[in-house]
Amino acid sequence: MRLIFVILLLSIFTAGTAFAESDTHKYNEANKLFTGGDYLSALELYNSIGIKNQNLEYNRGVAYFKLGRLGKAVLHFNRALRLNPDDEDAKANLKYIDSIKKDKEKKDKTGTLEELLSAFTNSFSMNGLTSITLLFYLLTAISISGYIFVRKTGNARRVIGAIVVFSTATLVLASLTAVRIYKFENKTMAVAMQEEIVARTGPTENANTAFIFHEGTVVTTGETRNGFVKVILSSGITAWAPLRDLEKI
Amino acid sequence: MRKLFLVISVLLLAQSAFANIKLSAKAEPAILPPGEAFRLVITVEEEGSLSLPDPVLPRLKNFEIVGKSTSQQISVTGLSSVTVTKSVVYQLVVPKEGVFTIPPVTLTYDGKTYATEPVTITADPNAPVPRSPRTARRRSPSFYSLFDRPPFKRADRGIRKDDLIFTAEFDKNRVVPYEQVIVTYSFYQAIDIWENPDLDKPDFKGFWVENMEFLNGRKEKTTKATIGDKTYRVTQVRFALIPLTPGEHEVAPATLVAQVDPWSNPVRLRTQPYAINVEPFPSADKPAGFQNMVGDYEVSTSVKPDKPEVNGGATLTIVIEGEGYLKPVPAPYAPVIDGFEIFDPQVKDTLDKSGARTKIRRVIEYPMIPRTAGKVTIPPIEFTWYDPDLGEYVKKSTEVIELDVKPTATAPPAPVAEGDVVQMAESIRFIKPDVKKLEDYGTPLHRSLWLFVFLLTPAPVILVSYMIARKREKLATDVAYSRLFNAAKNASRQLDEIKNVPDPKDFYAGVDKAVRGYLADLWNIPAPSIDEETVNRKLKDSENGIASDITALLNTVKMARYAPTSSSDMAKDIEKAKEVIKKMEQLS
């Protein structure tokens, strides 16, 4: 029985490793094809990799751009940034695409403190930030438990100090992590996939045209009705666009 | 009034058998500059029937229809003659210079077909510009807009039945799937009303619906019409209904609510339900791969650039343009072209709803990448549609395109900058490099169930810590509790220590000490005060004979200390002592 268990564990481990090796091989092969100018074959190979990886998303974006698919390129650069908000290449490429695409988007101005906090949180991976928060949470819990034992001794003050430090750090980190998780999970952003999309004043084909936006434009999406989704441009203008013409980031 | 209506009805019934139809068509003006609109007035005059069918306009290849209106006049002459005159006015635009002929307009009634004479139009740049009919339209009331309110005069008389009329007019009742039916809702008002009316259109179940437009993209049109001795202001909206499946589809009534004045109840006007028979496509000569395209189209194709490079981008564009509706029709599959990789197409539909029917311009773009250099022929792409006017399937193919695919050009040497570095070109950044292992981001930690288990763990740990700390405190401060807490443990330890002692005296002294010590800790009294009387008093309520067991044990131990016994008795006695402690623990 124990032997079967060991064999099972080994086979699961080897299968996982084999998949990882296969994906890595495909990724590196796709890079070769891309470098040789065969963007389509490279993209097909990138698309056949079934894992989430920031470099993979970035390279898919570049391949789509080379094939003239601006919407898809914007989508994958944004997905790369969701996995690694500090990816300077993805940011630069989005900035470049913004300079050549038809619709110009307004960028939100951020304060210095917000920028500093973003820089700090973005220097960790999503799971890294969550793990650090959990570590401080654990230290806070241990400190509280320790205080219970030493509360009537001379060490009580020191332990209280530790509790204050750890719990404050936990609260700050938990807030930053929550913001990061919210941004990660908040899939309300979408990218226009058609060359030209007519946004209407209501969720029907008969409604009047509110505005027209173009491929690659990033919009915030709201409720969905009747095959239409409410879209909000960066300027704040709202209308309804066909759901099939957008892809969520 | 009712008598007059009865008389008219009887006269009409009597005369229907002798119906005499006069059909005529004229252009106003017949000579005009190109690009200007003129009116094609078709008049149907008949004695004896109130329900005249609409005349059928032939296909107008050289004209653009920008509007249509209908009016009807009934005149009663003497007692025996009722004449109904129906006028259908089309607004047409002749786009280019020349002399054009509108073929005869036809009307089929009671098995007979009537036709007008052809009408000749001359588009001459030197002709005078006709008076624009737009002026009156700008002052029109609106179905939807509440800001364009007409001037109100209080009605000091009752409203007659024919003061407000609401009609629905369908241009066809027999169609094939995907063939459009135009319904025009007309609101005739002979009196001023307080508020703009609300149109409650039916849900058009079974149809794809497009709200048609008039000139300048307006969704409604206002004209004047005379019926009998009354002049009406007529407001119209139009919808194109596109049935998707065969069968009889009924269009439910539309309702219009008009508030005549602020003091009376609103007037509700309803149209009649209307049945549209959607017949299946004719099976005879139906081509294979027919994609439900219906209408009359022109097809063209182009490739840009015309000299693409190997592995460079190119786009094959197909344009389908004409009268019809293609939105529910899927784009054709990508053609197979040797030496090219072709991607899914991007389809862009532009609908022109300003004419008598919807016109569509569908642009299908196939991104392509040439893989080999040399001459490549893009074969003709065939399209098939059903033309309901002709009643047959039409096939058209795009033209053959010859392409010369060039090999990839060698990149020019990079310029060498002297002095300050100058960026020669900005482009997208290159791909990320190869990796030793492509990490899977997988499920993020915050979505894992273990995270929540981890978050909940400190609560019981803190609780247990608190309980342990309290117990330790109590043990340190409460002697009775401390003795009670440790009684069994101490007794058991002492019995274990003496079980191998060979000397019976020492052995029984140890047993005595362990048992008495246990009882003293249990009851928080000094060990020497444990005697038979104390045991019986403390255990007077116990029912399992424990008191007698303890006293018997203590007596045995006492006797054995002074009258030594065998080692087998010693083993039995230590077991008895353990048994007694066990029973006492169960008791407490």
Nearest chain A Cα to B471, which residue?
Answer: A149
Coil, helix or strand at residue B474: helix
Q: Tell whether B140 and B269 lie within a shared domain.
A: yes
Q: Is the pLDDT of residue B316 over 50?
A: yes
pLDDT for A35-51, tens place per residue?
888 888 999 999 999 88
Show which of residues 486-515 on chain B sit within 8 Å of chain A, judged by CB atoms: none
Q: Tell whether A6 and A93 lie within a shared domain.
A: yes
Coil, helix or strand at residue B412: coil
pLDDT for B263-276, tens place per residue?
777 888 889 899 99
B465 lies within 8 A of chain A by CB: yes
CB contact under 8 A, A53 and B438: yes
CATH number of residue A238's parent domain: 2.30.30.40
Q: Tell whether B113 and B162 lie within a shared domain.
A: no
pLDDT-derived band at A101 (thresholds 50, 70, 90) equals confident
Q: Tell whether A49 and A77 lie within a shared domain.
A: yes
Q: Tell whether A80 and A13 lie within a shared domain.
A: yes
Q: Tell whether A177 and A194 lie within a shared domain.
A: no
B203 lies within 8 A of chain A by CB: no
Structural domain harbouring A205: 189-248
Residue A221 lies in a domain: yes
Show which of residues 214-243 on chain A sit within 8 Å of chain B, judged by CB atoms: none
The predicted pLDDT at position B11 comes to 45
Distance between CA atoms of B340 and B312, rounded to whole angstroms?
A: 11
The predicted pLDDT at position B416 comes to 45
Q: Tell whether A23 and A65 lie within a shared domain.
A: yes
pLDDT-derived band at B533 (thresholds 50, 70, 90) equals confident
Token pair 């299946």 is found at B280
What number of CA atoms fall less than 13 Å from residue A102's CA on the CB side?
13
Q: Tell whether A93 and A59 lie within a shared domain.
A: yes
Q: Tell whether B60 and B106 lie within a shared domain.
A: yes
Q: Tell whether A144 and A159 lie within a shared domain.
A: yes
The predicted pLDDT at position A24 comes to 93
Q: Which of A92-106, B109-123, B236-250, B375-389 has the lowest mean pLDDT?
A: A92-106
Strands B374-378 and B401-405 come out as antiparallel
Residue A148 lies in a domain: yes
Residue B565 lies in a domain: yes
Q: Tell whether B111 and B216 lie within a shared domain.
A: no
Count Cβ atoms below 10 Å from residue B92 Cβ, excluding itself: 24
Q: Tell whether A158 and A198 lie within a shared domain.
A: no
Distance between CA atoms of A30 and A48, rounded to whole angstroms?
A: 10
Q: Which of B420-429, B444-453, B509-518 has the lowest mean pLDDT?
A: B420-429
Q: Tell whether B272 and B396 lie within a shared domain.
A: no
What average pLDDT does range A97-106 have in this prediction? 76
Q: Tell whether A96 and A149 lie within a shared domain.
A: no
Show which of residues 318-377 on chain B sit within 8 Å of chain A, judged by CB atoms: 327, 341, 343, 346, 348, 365, 367, 369
Q: Is the pLDDT of residue B29 over 90?
A: no
Distance between CA atoms of B122 and A97, rounded to whole angstroms?
A: 53
Chain A residues within 8 A of B211 when measuring between CB atoms:
206
CB contact under 8 A, B445 and A58: no
pLDDT for B500-529, tens place per residue?
888 888 888 899 899 999 999 988 898 888
Chain B residues within 8 A of A163 when measuring between CB atoms:
none
Tally A–B CB contacts below 8 A: 129
Question: Which residue, B107, B132, B157, sits at the end of a domain?
Answer: B132
pLDDT for A137-182, tens place per residue?
999 999 999 999 888 888 889 999 999 999 999 999 999 999 888 8
Residue B141 lies in a domain: yes
Q: Tell whether A15 and A44 lie within a shared domain.
A: yes
pLDDT for A193-247, tens place per residue?
988 898 998 998 888 888 888 889 999 998 999 899 999 988 888 999 999 999 9
Whether B186 contacts B199, CB under 8 Å: no
Nearest chain B Cα to A26, which residue?
Answer: B438
* Interface mutation vs chain B, best among A55, A79, A176, A187, most B CBs within 10 Å: A55
Q: Tell whether A55 and A132 lie within a shared domain.
A: no
Q: Tell whether B18 and B38 lie within a shared domain.
A: yes
As for how many domains chain B has, the answer is: 4
Sign of CA dihedral B215, B220, B223, B225: positive
pLDDT-derived band at B136 (thresholds 50, 70, 90) equals very low
Q: Tell whether B115 and B191 lie within a shared domain.
A: no
Structural domain harbouring B174: 134-280
Cβ neighbourhood burial of B28 (10 Å; 0-12, 13-18, 19+): exposed
Q: Is the pLDDT of residue B376 over 80?
A: yes
Q: Tell whether B117 and B154 lie within a shared domain.
A: no
Q: Is the pLDDT of residue A122 over 80?
A: no
Residue B440 lies in a domain: no
The predicted pLDDT at position A63 comes to 93
Q: Tell whether A13 and A51 lie within a shared domain.
A: yes
What average pLDDT does range B23-46 have in this prediction? 86
Residue B462 lies in a domain: no
Question: Which residue, B132, B166, B191, sits at the end of a domain?
Answer: B132
Residue A117 lies in a domain: no
Count Cβ atoms below 10 Å from residue B290 Cβ, excluding itself: 12
Distance of CA B562 to the CA centre of its chain: 102
As for how many domains chain A has, the answer is: 3
Q: Is the pLDDT of residue B443 over 80?
A: no
Chain A residues within 8 A of B428 when measuring between CB atoms:
62, 65-66, 73, 93, 96-97
Q: Is the pLDDT of residue B420 over 70?
A: no
Q: Tell whether B84 and B198 lie within a shared domain.
A: no
A138 lies within 8 A of chain B by CB: yes
Whether B550 contacts B520, CB under 8 Å: no
CB contact under 8 A, A51 and B440: yes
| Structure tokens, A193 | 């996939």
Q: Tell whether B124 and B141 lie within a shared domain.
A: no
Alpha helices by DSSP H, B296-397 = none
State the smallest CA–CA distance between residue A106 and chain B in angstroms. Answer: 21
Which residue among A20, A97, A131 sits closest to B445, beta carbon to beta carbon?
Answer: A131
Chain A residues within 8 A of B429 when measuring between CB atoms:
62, 89, 92-93, 96
The predicted pLDDT at position B14 comes to 45
CB contact under 8 A, A126 and B445: yes
The predicted pLDDT at position B422 comes to 46
Residue B461 lies in a domain: no
Question: Which residue, B280, B307, B342, sits at the end of a domain?
Answer: B280
Could you tell me what percent of chain B has a pLDDT over 70? 85
Which of residues B567 and B184 earns the better pLDDT score? B184
CB contact under 8 A, A20 and B440: yes
CATH number of residue A55's parent domain: 1.25.40.10
Count Cβ atoms below 10 Å from residue B322 Cβ, excluding itself: 17
Could you tell me what percent of chain B has a pLDDT over 90? 13
Q: Tell whether B169 and B271 lie within a shared domain.
A: yes
Predicted complex ipTM = 0.73
Q: Is the pLDDT of residue B135 over 50?
A: no
Q: Which of B16-20, B154-158, B347-351 has the lowest mean pLDDT?
A: B154-158
CB contact under 8 A, B428 and A93: yes
Strands B37-47 and B81-93 come out as antiparallel
Whether B315 contacts B365, CB under 8 Å: yes
When computed from its CA atoms, the radius of gyration of chain B, rounded to whole angstroms, is: 52
CATH number of residue B85's parent domain: 2.60.40.10
Q: Is the pLDDT of residue A134 over 90?
A: yes
The predicted pLDDT at position B51 comes to 65
Token pair 């058009």 is found at B204
Residue B446 lies in a domain: no
Residue B33 lies in a domain: yes
A28 lies within 8 A of chain B by CB: yes
Q: Tell whether B128 and B155 lie within a shared domain.
A: no
Q: Is the pLDDT of residue A6 over 80?
A: no
Chain A residues within 8 A of B407 when measuring between CB atoms:
none
- DSSP 8-state code for residue B309: B
Mean pLDDT of chain B: 80
Distance of CA A117 to the CA centre of its chain: 17
Sign of CA dihedral A52, A55, A60, A61: positive
The predicted pLDDT at position B320 comes to 92
